[in-house]
Amino acid sequence: MTDELDTTVYYDDDANSEHITDKTVAVLGYGSQGHAHAQNLDESGVDVVVGLREDSASRDAARADGLRVATATEAAAQADVVSMLVPDTVQPTVYEQVEDELDAGDTLQFAHGFNVHYGQIEPPEEVDVTMIAPKSPGHLVRRNYENDEGTPGLLAVYRNASGEAKQEALAYAKALGCTRAGVVETTFREETETDLFGEQAVLCGGVTELIKMGYETLVDAGYSPEMAYFECLNEMKLIVDLMYEGGLSEMWDSVSYTAEYGGLTRGEMIVDESTRENMEQVLEEVQNGEFAREWITENRAGRPAYRQRRLAEKDHEIEEVGEQLRELFAWADDEQTESNATDDPEKATADD
């Protein structure tokens, strides 16, 4: 355990498996994260029951993996720990199905704090509320476990009614394989707000807009769509991999002096103080709940704006050019396999 970075990171030696191996865990959902949690817990000696709709196509897959399957209500009735791994958008509905099965001393667990933080789910006072969030797509959580490797994760305790919520959460994280790599302690608020901000301002929203604008700038200037695609999208993976492996310095040390000087002197012309001001606005809307209210309303209306924007994104020229180019190269199949996975239960399967 270390506090060097003003945070707390837990490892295998900090977790006592006895806090989870004598309990039954209901894993609700069997998508990206659900299948990994259920299988890893099961192989770590935890009694697992998977909660799925009676008409869910995932039931056969869970049974084929050697797991017990029941409805969400039935699974929660059997469980000491209920792990909510269905999409954020349907969690409140599923919670209504299991709420009456939560007894004093039970635990309601999440992999993302959205619904608790924004008041869409209000667990009973006598129930522990925790979060274990592997910071990786579910298929990698599973693969790392099978390879005796770890997946970094987050731990948060929203309510400690029993007095042992943190110890149980750590034991759960160990059973997933997360404490092999390290589990960072945080809060539901911090995890939710930083996650939403990162997705919107940088990882998903910011990066895709930067790529599209770069592509459009080159094409509008008369350069070929193929070259624009390679320079603004394809090579993004090379740069991100370097930053992932060793931070910004690793990337700067690996590119040419020309690229480094150009990036250091011209990058701030693109992402300037006006960008920071816009980011602060995005963060404010996350913090004050405006984004959450907007997204909840959008879902209740059947997601009309979401569908329109998604179609517009698919229709962008860069998507057509990229699809054609990827078919020409040998690495396309391998990268497509990796890109189909996600760490968000929302995009797991429709059968969650």
Known catalytic residues? 112
Sign of dihedral through CA atoms 175, 177, 181, 187? negative
Distance of CA 173 to the CA centre of its chain: 15
Q: How many CA atoms lie within 13 A of 43 on its CB side?
A: 14
Q: What letter does residue 14 receive in the DSSP assignment?
A: G
- What ranges make up the beta strands (E) of the chain? 9-10, 24-28, 47-51, 68-70, 81-84, 107-110, 128-134, 153-159, 183-185
Q: What is the largest CA-CA distance in the chain?
A: 67
Rounded CA gap, 193 and 288, in Å? 10
Q: What letter does residue 85 receive in the DSSP assignment?
A: -
Retrieve residue 16's tokens.
């006592």
